[in-house]
Structure 1
Amino acid sequence: MVRLGLLALVGALALVAYMVYLDVQLRERLDSRQYQLPARVFARPLVLREGMVMRPDELAAEFAALNYREKQTLTEPGQWTRAGMDYRVWRRDFVHADGREPAEVVSFRLRNDELSGLQGESGQKLREFRLDAATIGTLLGGGDDRNPVRFADIPPLLANTLIAVEDQDFLHHFGVSPRGIARAMVANLRAGGVVQGGSTITQQLVKNIFFDHKPSLWRKFNEALMAVLMELHYDKPYILQEYINEVWLGQQGSRAIYGFGLASEFYFQKPLDTLEPHEMALLVGLAKGASYYNPWRNPERALERRNTVLEVMQKHELISADELDRYRALPLGVASVAGAAQNPYPAFTERLLQELRPFYSYEELRTAGLRVYTSLAPSVQKLVEDAVSSRAEQLEKDRGIQADSLQAATVVVDNETGNVLAMVGDRRPSYPGFNRALEARRQVGSLIKPAVFLTALERPHQYNLATLIEDAPIRVEAPDGQVWMPSNFGNQSHGPTPLYLALAKSYNQATARLGLDLGIENVRQTIRRLGVQADLPRVPSLFLGAVELTPFEVAGMYQTFANGGENVELRTLLAVSDAQGEQVQKFRRKADRNVDAVPAFLLRYSLEQVMREGTGKSAMRSLPGSVAFAGKTGTTNDYRDSWFAGFSPDVTAVVWLGRDDNERTSLTGATGALTVWTEIMRKLPHRHGRVGAPRGVEYKTVNDRGQFMDPRYCEGGRNMPFSFETRLEPAPECAGRDRFRWFRDFFGDDRGETDETAPVEEMTPGWGVDPREQQREQERERQLQEQLRRDDETQQPGEFEQAPLFEEEPQQFEEEPLQLPRGEEEELREQQEIRSQDDTGVPVEEAQPWSDEDQWP
């Protein structure tokens, strides 16, 4: 007996020592435990403002991105209701980059797509109201992922259901439940196999944190000891909270879904505290085996398991019998597999990572749980995705193009801020493969022409919008004998053409002549000042687009035109904070001005004429004529690439269509990319009215020879903007009509008019505006606003949407595809074929047909 007593004592001491060891391990692990969480990415929050333009479908898209549910009556945050055009929205509590905003109800009205009557729940009028930001994914997929929740945020129904299903004695046992073990043994004996486990929630938590899932008696023994120790040191709410955050509930490739917080978003795309009882039942059921009950692969099995949990809920009086019948009849209601993607916007996210990497390490982005606030606008992104997918398919059908052969890329940016609102890098927008918006360098064709014309307009003493440019055949021979002879569409020449019209109708010969007069290097420097950093060949074909750019780079260039010469750095990243929303780092707008506002405005006028009477004219049949749209088509050799880049006063959008194998598409910029661009822009809100001219611009009337027509003595002509520094020749047909001219000349006419220049005496040098012209502009603006008001009153519901989208543009308005010298074209094709085989999309260095040392006039 003594020996047995000694052995028992030694065993007890050993057990105590072992438990002390386990206790140290347990407390060190839990007390210092931090979840490794990937950075969570948020879209820009929608800010509702009094008087803002907002369409009902845009608003619905924003609510869908936020996973707000439409209800007849608001009962909790994350819901919205609509009665006619009156809306009420219950915003969720959210931590923005500049602080937390609590849950709150707001109401407003949409009338003629304009928001009004914005007010809070107590009736106070509001100037603006910011919603919470939609979660758009996590960065750097793979590994464990979770969205931890605090015990206070766990819905009581979920906690009680979990206890009822997994551990009915949870509130009473001390870590191990003898009754639970006995109950499991009886159930297993009756079934003739293992159908029920005896582990408590505490034991399962210990297993999830400290052990693998391989069954063994030693593991069970350790689980039991550590469960008892855990109950000694931590209270029940903490243990339940950690279990809810730790349990494995699904898998997405290499990404493991842990915890109910993330599982709620993964399966239902909604926060945990907004789940319905039948949705909670499915998640609780998945805790038994997320792979076995996978609702996408095994929906019947998952439905059966969910209904079993619902029956347990009713048995423990968590729901009523009527509710049980109603919830059992409902489908699973899980999101689509694509909707549950970790990164639903791969093109946008790739650019976001590029902007994050200089400031944050890979490990920080993968494990530190950062909150990343971005510029993505969910409603704009959806609009762009739908336009790209539907139009690409429609073009293939209408044009007899091989099905699924067209590819696309699109970038939409806010002009003033440079914020990237939407980006698509593949015809299948959610496909995480080659990102053509950032990586596909393709020749841009006529998109580069505005840089040539801008270079000319920066020389106001030599060129203006009315300057005649000879559109005639041109031949350029290189020192090595290569010949460049660009031609226009249909091989037609148009003779002397006003500068603005040569750009509007994209005449190749006129552009080439103008570029050669200006000099290759001067045009290259202009392109550089527009923010383009890509390689620029020193060859004449540069003037017609022999340069490779990505859609993202083109967007930066055209956004500079839209901003009146101010280049704003495009960005997706706005701010980053830690997991608690504190320690915020904000990223400011970066801009510089390398182009003067006056020539930039004159160029804008020319690009507006592209839409009014040039290669973009077909788009204006479905766009509001009161908006100052501007843009340019682009087509490359053999119709391989179809481009359109354009802007309104608010946004710039760039669209590229083509084939990855560089084969012919048969699409010009007008028949291809422009149709996608139009579909996007016609659904976005825009400011109406003309864009105001900067100081230093004056409007004058000229004839078709570019001569000034004094409105006091002549009628007709075309009124257009000019730099104050421009001196126009007077039109001969206006001379000799002032019978009292000799009288004013004799007594000293203070107008200062001469035969050589147009009258400028009423201008303040460098800054003035002709008062008469200003009055005429005000009258035209008043008439335009009156016309818009009458249109609004007479327009029938749905009238705008029913307008024909696109009509074939007359051939004379099509631009000729980019033309290269003989020899250069064959070399280009070889380079493109090599590049099309490069999975990374990184272009192979292209040999230039002319060396940098060659000098061209």
Structure 2
Amino acid sequence: MVRLGLLALVGVLALAAYMVYLDVQLRERLDSRQYQLPARVFARPLVLREGMALRPDELMAEFDALSYREKKPLTEPGQWHREGMEFRVWRRDFAHADGREPAAQVTFRLRNDELSNLRDEAGNKIREFRLDAAPIGTLLGGGDDRNPVRFADIPPLLANTLIAVEDQDFLHHFGVSPRGIARAMIANIKAGAVVQGGSTITQQLVKNIFFDHKPSLQRKINEALMAILMELHYEKPYILQEYINEVWLGQQGSRAIYGFGLASEFYFQKPLDTLEPHEMALLVGLAKGASYYNPWRHPKRALERRNTVLEVMKEQGLITAEQYEDYRARPLDVASAGAAAQNPYPAFTERLLEELRPYYSYEELRTAGLRIYTTLSPSVQKLAEDAVSERAEQIEKDRGIQADSLQAATVLLDNNSGNVLAMVGDRRPNYPGFNRALEARRQVGSLIKPAVFLTALERPDQYSLATPIEDAPIRVEGDNGQVWMPSNFGNRSHGPTPLYLALAKSYNQATARLGLDLGLENVRQTIRRLGVQADLPRVPAMLLGAVELTPFEVAGMYQTMANGGEHVEPRTLLAVANADGEQVQRFRRRSNRGVDAVPAYLLRFALEEVMREGTGKSAMRRLPSSVAFAGKTGTTNDYRDSWFAGFSPDVTAVVWLGRDDNERTSLTGATGALTIWAEIMRKLPHRHGRVEPPRGVEYKPVNERGQYMNPEYCEGGTELPFSYETKLEPAPECRGRERFRWFRDLFGDDRDSQDETAPRQEMTPGWGVDPEEEQRQRERERQLQEQLRRDDELQQPGWEDEPLQLPPDEEEEIRQEDLWQQEERRAEEERRLLQERLEEEERRREELRRRDEGDVPVEEAEPWPGGEDQWP
């Protein structure tokens, strides 16, 4: 007996020591444990603003990305409903990069694609309302992935259902449930197989954290001991919370789905707190075996398991019998397998990783649980994806091209911010393979031509939009003896062509001549100033597009043109916060002015002409005529690449269409890429009306020779914008009545030298008084004073006695007398106008002086007559 007692004592001491060892292991692991979480990525939040352009289908796409449900009346955040064109939305609580915004409701109206009557829940008018940001995946796939939730955020119905199905004694046992073990043994004996386990939720949590899933007696003993220890140290809510975050609920390739928080998004594209009872039942059922009950691979098994859980919920009083019948009759309602992708926007994410790498290590992005706030617009991305996929297939059918042989890429940028709104790198947008938007370097063809014409327009003393450019055969012999002889489409030459029309019609010969006259290096520098950093060959063929760029680089180049000459670096990254939602770093807009506003505006006008009467004309039948669209087609040799790059006042979009093997497609820029571009732009909201010219631009009519047609003397001509620094030659047919030039000369009338030509006006930068301009102002005043003095002298008695030498014919004498009287009245009127001009000039000088001295605030100063664009 003594020996047995000693053995028992030794056993108890050994067990106690082992329990102490296990206790140390347990507490060290749990107290120091941190989840390794991949960075979570969010789209830009949709900000509703009074008066903004917004289409209903665009709004629906945003709701879909947010997994908002349509329901009336609204019962919880994440819902919306519509009555006619009146909308009510209940946004979710969300931690944005600049702070958390609570759940709140808003109402507004959409009419003619414009948002109005934006009001909060109390009915007060508000200027804007920001929705929460849609989750768009996680970075760096593979390994364990989860979205941890706190106990306070766990829906009570989910917690109670999990307890009812997995461990009905959870609230009462001390880690191990003898009654549960006995119940499981009886069930297994009756079934003749293992149909029920006796492990508690606490034991399952211990197994998930500390052990593998290979069954063994030692593991079961350790499980039980550590479960008891866990119950001694931790409260039931904490244990249940950790189990809900730790249980394995699915697999996607090398990515393991852990916890109900991530499983809710993975299977239903919804936050956990928005799940309906039948959706919770499916997730609870998956805890028994996520592979066996996979709803995509084994939907019948999954449905049966879900209904079993629903039955338990009914038996435990968690749902009513009526609710049970309702939910049991519903389908699984899981999202498509593709929608559950870890990275549904691979092209966009690739660029995002490039921008993140200088600031964060691979390990931080994979394990630190960072929150990445991006520029992606879910509605624009979906629109671009649909247009690329559907139109590429349609083009193949319409043109007899082999099915699935064409590939495509597109990039959309916000003009002002440089934000990447959407990016597609493959006809299969979710395919994470070769990203053509970022990696496919292809010759751009005529997309490079605007840089040539911009170089010319930056020389207003030599070139304007009206300058005739000779479109005729050109021959250039290189140092190696090779001859370059570009030809036009159709092998036709067109002779002297206005500069803007040469670009609109994309004439190769005219472009080559112009570029060679300007100098290759000057054109190369212009391309650099437009934002292109890629290699640029120093050969004449560069002028016609023998330059290899990616769609992303082309988008940056055209965004500079669209943004009035200011290049904004394209970006996908807005801010990064840590796992707790505290802001870590904000990434600001970076820009520089590469091109002055005046030549940039003139180029924009020419690119608008591409859409009105040039190679982009075919798209305008599908686009709103009230929007100032501009762009350029691009086609490379043998029709290998089809390009279109263009913009509206708000958005720049670039589309490439071609084959990966670089074989012929038979598509021009207009018959291929332009059709996809037009489909995208047709469905986007845009600002309507003409883009206002900057200071330094004036519109004047010119003839086909580029000569100024003074509207005072003749009608017609083409109205074009010109720099104030451009001096136009007057059209001979618009010189007025030369018969009485002697009379105008007598009065110093300078209309032939000034009014009939476009005057060259010097620009004064800024708001102050320029000394040189002040000197010119004094000279103009002196001339006006001299003119008035001469007019006064002409009014002295005796001037009418000057012999007129009229012919003896009486009728001719009468006619000449009438003409004389008309000229006399005209001279009097001009004298009066000159006096008014003198007074006006004096007033302008005084205002400029007062502004320069700070007497008059800029915002309160009266504008110049004719608007700001007419300032000297």
> Structure 1 length as normaliser, TM-score?
0.89
**Structure 2 CA distance for aligned equivalents of residues 737 and 580 of structure 1:** 81
* 1:580-619 → structure 2 map (5 Å cutoff): 580-619=580-619
- Determine the structure 2 residue equivalent to 1:192: 192
Question: Are the counterparts in 2 of residues 42 and 372 from structure 1 also a CA contact under 8 Å?
Answer: yes
Structure 1 residues 475-500: Cα deviation after superposition (integer angstroms, max 9, x where no partner): 11112221111111111100000000
* C-alpha contact 1:725 1:766 (8 A) present in aligned 2: no
Map 1:19-418 onto structure 2 (within 5 A). Answer: 19-418=19-418
Q: Which residue of 2 aligns with 1:676?
A: 676
CA shift for structure 1 position 230: 0.4
Aligned 8 A contact 1:162 1:284 in 2: yes
Query: Any conservation in 2 of the 1:730–1:756 contact (CA below 8 Å)?
Result: no
CA distance in 1: counterparts of 2:186 and 2:509, whole angstroms: 92
- Could you tell me how far apart the structure 1 residues matched to 2:567 and 2:745 are? 48
Work out the CA distance in 2 between the residues paired with 1:513 and 1:459.
Answer: 16
Residue 853 of structure 2 is matched in structure 1 by none
Match of 2:753 in 1: 754
706-715 or 207-216: which moved more?
706-715
Residue 567 of structure 1 corresponds to: 567
Deviation at 1:760, TM superposition (A): 2.5
Question: Offset at 1:153?
Answer: 0.6
- Whether the 8 Å contact between 1:453 and 1:503 is mirrored in structure 2 is yes
Distance of 2:758 and 2:665 partners within structure 1: 52
Q: Secondary structure at the match of 1:404?
A: coil
| Separation in structure 2 between the aligned mates of residue 352 and residue 753 of structure 1, nearest angstrom | 61
State the identity %.
83
Structure 1 residue 576, shift from structure 2 partner: 0.2
Contact between 1:248 and 1:258, CA under 8 Å: does it hold in 2? yes
1:443–1:546 CA contact under 8 A, matched in 2: yes
TM-score by length of 2: 0.87
Shift in Å at residue 607 of structure 1? 0.3
Counterpart mapping for 1:446-461 below 5 A: 446-461=446-461
Aligned partner of 1:492 in structure 2 is 492
Structure-2 separation of matches of 1:41 and 1:50: 28
Higher gyration radius (CA): 2
Quickly say closer, same or farther: Cα 1:491–1:304, change in 2 above 3 A: same
- Consecutive unaligned residues of structure 2, counting only runs of 5 or more, are 767-772, 774-836, 841-863
SS for the counterpart of 2:462 is coil
- 1:690 is aligned to 690
- Report the CA distance between 1:186 and its aligned residue: 0.7
Counterpart contact for 1:724–1:765, Cα < 8 Å: no
Please give the residue correspondences for 1:785-796 in structure 2 after superposition, counting only pairs within 5 Å.
none
What corresponds to 1:464 in structure 2? 464
- Tell me the distance in 2 between the aligned counterparts of 1:700 and 1:283: 71
Q: Write the letter of the residue equivalent to 2:560.
A: T
Specify the SS of the correspondent of 1:584: strand
Gap change, CA 1:510 and 1:762, over 3 Å in 2: closer
Q: What amino acid does structure 2 have at the position aligned with 1:490?
A: G
Q: Which amino acid aligns with 2:386?
A: D
Which deviations, in whole Å up to 9, do the C-alpha atoms of 1:454-487 show, x marking residues without a partner?
1111111111111111000111111222111111
Partners of 2:731 and 2:589 in 1: CA distance: 47
User: Contact conserved, 1:702 with 1:708, CA < 8 A, in 2?
Assistant: yes
> Quick one: which amino acid aligns to residue 301 of structure 1?
R
Are 1:519 and 2:510 counterparts? no
Secondary structure of 1:754 counterpart:
helix
1:743 Cα offset (Å): 3.7
Corresponding residue of 1:431 = 431
Deviations 1:149-180 (A, max 9, x none): 00011011100000000000000000000000
User: How far apart are the structure 1 equivalents of 2:867 and 2:435?
Assistant: 45
In 1, the alpha carbon distance for the partners of 2:648 and 2:685 equals 10
The 2-side partners of 1:50 and 1:739 are apart by 61
2:245, 2:261 within 8 Å by CA — same for their partners in 1? Answer: yes
In structure 2, the CA distance between the partners of 1:396 and 1:761, relative to structure 1 (3 Å rule), is closer
Q: How far apart, in 2, do the equivalents of 1:744 and 1:532 lie?
A: 54
Q: 2:364, 2:340 → 1: CA distance?
A: 24
Matched residue SS, 1:183: helix
Tell me, yes or no, if the aligned pair for 2:107 and 2:121 is still in contact at 8 Å.
yes
Partner of 2:704: 704
Q: Match for 1:111: what amino acid?
A: R
- What residue number does 2:844 align with? none
- CA distance 1:680–1:100, change in 2 (3 Å): same
- Name the CA distance, whole Å, in 1 between partners of 2:760 and 2:270: 67
Q: Deviations over 1:801-850 (max 9, x none)?
A: xxxxxxxxxxxxxxxxxxxxxxxxxxxxxxxxxxxxxxxxxxxxxxxxxx
Tell me the SS of whatever aligns to 1:410: strand
Deviant stretches of 4+, over 3 Å: 738-745, 761-768, 774-778
Output the CA distance in 2 between the equivalents of 1:636 and 1:47: 41
- CA offset at residue 72 of structure 1? 2.1
Give, in whole Å, the separation in 1 of the partners of 2:422 and 2:725: 40
Return the offset for 1:359. Answer: 0.2
- Asked if 2 retains the 8 angstrom alpha-carbon contact of 1:46 and 1:130, the reply is yes
Q: CA deviation at 1:746?
A: 2.8
Aligned to 1:822: none
Higher relative contact order, chain-length normalized (CA < 8 Å, sep 6+): 1
Q: How many angstroms does 1:742 deviate by?
A: 3.6
Distance in 2 between residues matched to 1:225 and 1:746, nearest whole Å: 117
Q: Give the drift of 1:696.
A: 1.3
Task: For residues 718-748 of structure 1, give each alpha carbon's deviation from its aligned partner in whole angstroms, at most 9, with x where no partner exists.
Answer: 1111111111111111124266654443333
Task: Work out the CA distance in 2 between the residues paired with 1:584 and 1:123.
Answer: 36
For each residue in 1:202-240, what CA deviation from the matched residue of structure 2 results, as whole angstroms up to 9, or x when unmatched? 000000001100100000000101000000010000000
CA distance in 2, matches of 1:500, 1:593: 23
**Inter-CA distance 580–766: structure 2 relative to 1 (3 Å threshold):** closer
Question: If each structure's helix is expressed as a fraction of its own residues, which one has the higher value?
Answer: 2
Structure 1 equivalent of residue 420 of structure 2: 420
Residue 503 of structure 1 corresponds to 503
1:806 corresponds to: none
Q: 1:637 corresponds to which letter in structure 2?
A: N
Cα separation, partners in 2 of 1:505 and 1:761, compared to 1, 3 Å: closer
> Which amino acid is the alignment partner of residue 608 of structure 1?
E
**Residues in 2 aligned to 1:302 and 1:420: alpha-carbon distance in whole angstroms:** 40
Distance in 1 between the 2:756 and 2:143 partners?
A: 74
The answer (yes or no) to whether the contact 1:566–1:594 under 8 Å persists in 2 is: yes
- Structure 1 distance, partners of 2:148, 2:645, is 44
In the alignment, is the contact (CA less than 8 A) between 1:486 and 1:509 conserved in 2? yes
- TM-superposed CA distance for 1:584, in Å, is 2.7
